[in-house]
Amino acid sequence: MTKFLIIANWKLNGNYKFINKNINLIKKKIYKSLYFCNLSIAPPYIYLGYINNLLKNTSISLTAQNVDIHTKGSFTGEISIKMLKDVGVKYVIIGHSERRFFHNENNDIISKKFILIKNNGLIPILCLGETEKQKKRNETEKICIQQINSILENSNINILNKTIIAYEPIWAIGSGKNANINEIQKTILFIKKYISSLNSEIVKNIYFLYGGSVNVSNLDIFLQEKTINGLLIGKASLTIENFISLVKKAEKTINSFNSS
Ligand code: PEP
C-alpha cells in the first residue's frame, strides 16, 4: 500500500444506467493514467458482481459498504465475508457513522466485523470520528481511541497490521463542512502515536484516510498532508464529471509534489 487511495462511496445510490455511465467514463478518462492514486468503488451490494466484471483488467478495486458478522446460516437479508470475496471485493467499510446511527451498530459489533474481515484476507476500512457534541466537549481523541480499543479487546495489536483507518468527523459527513486541516492532522497523529506506543512497526503498515465533504475545490488541502494516505468520498463521487476532475487533480498535484 503506497499510492494515495481514493474510495468512492456511492452509499444507497445508483442503478445500471448510472453504473454503466460512471464505470465507462472512469475507464475511458482516468484509469490508464493513474500513477499516484489507487481507485476503489463502493457500490450498493447487489451491483458488486456486475461491477467486478466491468472492472476486469483494470487496476480499480471493489469496496463493500458492509458485511455481516455471521459467515452463513439463517440470517435473512445479510451478506457474508465469503460472498464478498467471491464477487471480488478487496476492501470492506465498517463503522461508518450512517451504520452506527441508522442500524444501531456499536463498537462491539464493529470490532467483530473488523476481525472477521481481516482474518478472511480482505482489508477492513474502520471509520471512526466524533459527533459535533463530542467535538465541543473536546472528546475527539477519547472517542477515536475507544473505537480502536474495542477491536484490541477482542484481538491483539497484529489485527491492525495492513488495515485502513478512516478518520471521519461525523459532523463533516455530507454536511458541506469539512474539518480544519490542522485538527485532522492532530487527530490522525494522535491515533498514530497511540498505536505506535503499542507497536511501532504495525503503525507503519496502516493507511490513514480522511472523509467528510471532500470535493474538487477543497481537495488540495488534504493532498498536502503526509499524514493522510487517501480519501473517502461520498457526495462528490456521485457526479461522475466532478469525480473524474477530482481524481485528475489529485494525480496532477501529487505528481507536482513528487517532482518538486
Ligand atoms: C462518507 O460518507 O464517508 C463521506 C465522506 O461522505 P461525504 O463525502 O458526502 O461527506
Check pLDDT > 90 for residue 174. Answer: no
Instruction: Give yes or no for a contact between 219 and 251, defined as CB atoms under 8 angstroms apart.
Output: no
Sorted by where each starts, the structural domains of the chain and their CATH numbers stand as 4-259 (3.20.20.70)
* Atom of ligand 1 at shortest range from CA of 178: 10
* Atom of ligand 1 at shortest range from CA of 235: 9
Instruction: Give yes or no for a contact between 222 and 228, defined as CB atoms under 8 angstroms apart.
Output: yes
Check pLDDT > 80 for residue 97. Answer: yes
User: Which residue among 92, 164, 168 has the greatest number of ligand 1 atoms within 8 angstroms of its CB, and so is best to mutate?
Assistant: 168
Of 72, 171, 173, 62, which Cα lies nearest the Cα of 122?
62
Burial grade of 243 (CB within 10 A; 0-12, 13-18, 19 or more): buried
Instruction: Give yes or no for a contact between 122 and 116, defined as CB atoms under 8 angstroms apart.
Output: no
What is the tens place of the pLDDT at every residue in 110-147? Answer: 999 999 999 999 999 999 999 999 999 999 999 999 99
pLDDT at 236: 96
Is residue 168 among the annotated active site residues? yes
Distance between CA 46 and CA 56 in Å, rounded? 18
**Helices H / strands E in the chain, number of each:** 10, 8
pLDDT at 81: 98
Distance between CA 187 and CA 181 in Å, rounded? 10
Q: Kindly indicate the confidence band of residue 179, based on its pLDDT and cuts at 50, 70 and 90.
A: confident
* Atom of ligand 1 at shortest range from CA of 98: 2
Measuring from each residue's beta carbon to the nearest atom of ligand 1, which residues come in under 6 Å?
A: 9, 168, 173-174, 211-214, 232-236
Say how many Å lie between the CA of residue 70 and the centre of ligand 1: 27
User: Which residue among 93, 101, 214, 237 has the greatest number of ligand 1 atoms within 8 angstroms of its CB, and so is best to mutate?
Assistant: 214
Is residue 141 among the annotated active site residues? no
Residue tagged active-site, from 70, 96, 105, 153: 96
pLDDT at 47: 98
The closest residue, in CA terms, to atom 1 on ligand 1 is 234
What is the tens place of the pLDDT at every residue in 31-61? Answer: 888 999 999 999 999 999 999 999 999 999 9
